[in-house]
Structure 1
Amino acid sequence: MHQLTYGDVKAAAHRISGRIRPVTLVPLDPGAVRTGHRDALDDRPEQPCEVWLALEFMQHTGSFEARGAQNFIRAHHDAGTLPDAGVTIAPGGRAGLACAWAAQQQGVRATVFLPTTAPRVKVAEFRDHGADVRLAGTEYAEALAACDEFAAGTGALRPHAYDHPLFAAGAGTLLEEIHQRIPDLDTVVIPGGGGLFAGVTTVARHHGIRTVAVEPTNRRVLGAGRPLDVPVDSIAADSLGAHRTSAPALAAAQQDRVHSVLVPDTEIVHARQALWDHGRIAVEHGTATALAALLAPDQHVPDRDLPSRPPTPSGSYRPANGEKVCVVLCGANTHPRTLARR
């Protein structure tokens, strides 16, 4: 297994330069997210903390995966290992959509396999990105099997976006951009424990930045210390639904200045609604998981604590006096009508 390095991320940044949207950073107004909870971000006046939001949900295809997809295809193109059959994708989540988009941008064939029961809007979205959509079976497992058969027969690349080092390196370029804009950043807060986590922690370690990885309480894949299948039972399962973390992400989790935080679904829903109510920011539940760590009440659940600061309850993250924090809002694959107050 290739150990991701800062050099990998720098190479990715060079490959995708001009092909992705630079991240937008905005300061978080603590008063804008007070919605019935006690003031979780009540700054101490002598030296207030500074919290920024990285609006990566504005990226092409609505998520950070566009970075990794561009890096994956471009790296194979540059190495001469891109087959005539291009890439093939199943079952077609947000990473699959990013691959189809990146392939279209670079004139590469993309063949997507979906079950016949897939929503028509999803099929149309892939076709809008130039993909050849093939319907196989009535379940995603059948579409996946058809995709694997197609890859074996044609030589098409079958990207595994969740744990592929080229995808992780592409994801890491997000923090490299953030650091260029906020060079004295202390802490980055991200959702999940997959490719984004592996890439971001690689850059964070190089620059001496603390990483806080936030997961739903019912899906803890980072804390076990080894690859371990876990049940997925969370409102954020559509984007934080992997049953097992990747080896690169697990290795990153063992590094100093990395902290794992667990938040319940109720706090994820609250954070997502607060972003919409006070900023008209519509994000998926998995994305809101990162902000939930800053807004949630303290929950004293034992967990790995940062060696460089006092223990923090695993159900929340409290910035210290003067700390500069960036919360990554990484995906917008949701619909605003689910946020409407009834």
Structure 2
Amino acid sequence: MGENRKTLSRGLKNRKKRVSKLFNHLKYEEIVTAILILLLTPIITELYNSFFNKVEIINLSVRNVPKIINGQELNIENPKAYYSNYIENDVSVKNNKSNNIIIDEVGIKNVRVDENYQYEDVKIHYGLNKNSQMFDIYAFNNGNKASHNIKYLVKMIWRSDKKSKIIYKKIINSNKLYRGEITKILTENLISSKLIKYFNLTNNNQLLEIHIKNLKNLSQEDPIIFSFDNKTKRFGENMGGGSLLNDKPENIIIPLYKPYKKEYVRPTSQNIKKNSTTVVKFNLLAQKTSRIAYDIELKSNNKVIKPSNKKILHKTLKVRMPVYNLSDNDRGLDGKIYLYCQKNHLKNSTYEEVKLKERNLIYSVETTKKEFNIN
């Protein structure tokens, strides 16, 4: 036991001598340098990350601005071929640095607006006059280009419990429609003998279901269902609720109004956390139907944020502004064009006539601002 202790003691003494020799061989400057390297390495690494690690734009996506009611985003249709006149730009920014950065400027440059873009957009509105029991369908062109000839199939189906029968079928043809032109393409008396004969006057559980199909593009309207009152021998329908006010927008809005400029810039203050990816959003509000091309640009501390790929920055969009304001009631049943024609006892109408008789039906950028609660 005593021998082991002596051996251990001699070993420790020898180790101290070797360490002492090592330090004697090291110069004072070398010791200081080693200490400085140990102290400065984390600081240098931090500075390197701050100055040389990239902040870059990795993606740009666009969509129609969604409606937001009480904080809830409503589902919207986003056709790939065209957009509405109110467009959201979502720019994904990746911050590889070890410190947060602030995006202080958003904008678009190299802006080109071509107002020669044209499109056709044939729609139908329809409804039931409860007094006369006449069911009418109006077709109208909500685009700025003359349409092709139109063709629809209308089917009426009697239903009771689990039974059903097609009691009416008709193909409707109509000539082309010019911008904003409206024409009645069908009128049917639902209590005429040819239809009412299918309804049992002792059965109060009967429905009339109407289907309308566009034979050009094969799109279909939602089924229209009228209840039948066997006591009064008349049809009726359930009415939907009113429209809700959109929440105030939080995104920056860049208006594209005449006279157009090559560049539009807006200040902002959006924090991009270190080592993370954040989506920077801003909206474009177009004044006219047009084809719009632009490049997006973001800045931080007056420096342009570069993209991972230059193609990411560029967008070319087809923007459609409708002729008529249908925003409060976009469905076909009891649609605004149907109600306008019924109110004014019209079989046909034109854009100019609508402008004179009911100007609030004409769509403008002010309609968009009201619909989306933009000040």
Instruction: Please tell me whether Structure 1 or Structure 2 has the larger radius of gyration of its CA atoms.
Output: 2
- Structure with greater helix percent: 1
- Same structural fold, with TM-score higher than 0.5 when normalized by the shorter chain: no
Q: Higher relative CO (CA 8 A, sep ≥ 6), structure 1 or 2?
A: 2
- TM-score normalised by L of structure 2: 0.19
- Structure with greater strand percent: 2
